[in-house]
Amino acid sequence: MITALSRRNDFALLQRSGIIRRSGPLRARVIVVENPPPESIKLGFTIGRKFGPAVRRNRMRRRLRHCVAEAAAGSVEVDTSHLLLTASPEALVTSHTELVGHCRNVMVEAA
């Protein structure tokens, strides 16, 4: 289960020891751990105003939430416990399948 990244300590931990991963229109700051239990993944979003009006930003948050859930539920071994996603405006026109692939890429360390 994926929970919200909301505590100040979680954001401070990401800022202090998180690493940045990029894939397509997504950029993520993640905490890498060895076999995190799936119920411990904490997810947050930063979608800035340059993305557009609130309707577009909220739509992007909903799409990303579903894509991350699908990527985490797949057969891929996730190595993140905390995930803060940032999307560029191109993500709005990216297909669902491609977004799921980009989410997998930022959640799993590249070989």
How many structural domains are present in the chain? Answer: 1
**Burial class of residue 64, CB neighbours in 10 A (0-12, 13-18, 19+):** buried
Which token pair is 29? 């700051």
State which residues form the domain around 53.
2-107
Q: At what angle do helices 54-73 and 96-107 cross, to 10 degrees?
A: 60
pLDDT for residue 110 is more than 50: no
For the whole model, what pTM was predicted?
Answer: 0.82
Pairing of strands 19-23, 26-32: antiparallel
CA dist 67 → 60, 73, 102, 107 (Å) = 10, 10, 9, 11
Q: What is the mean pLDDT of residues 70-86?
A: 77
Q: What is the mean pLDDT of residues 51-57?
A: 92
Q: Report the percent of the chain where pLDDT is more than 70.
A: 84
CATH of the domain at 6: 3.30.230.10
Q: What is the pLDDT of residues 10-23, one digit of tens each?
A: 888 888 888 899 99
Q: What is the mean pLDDT of residues 25-40?
A: 76
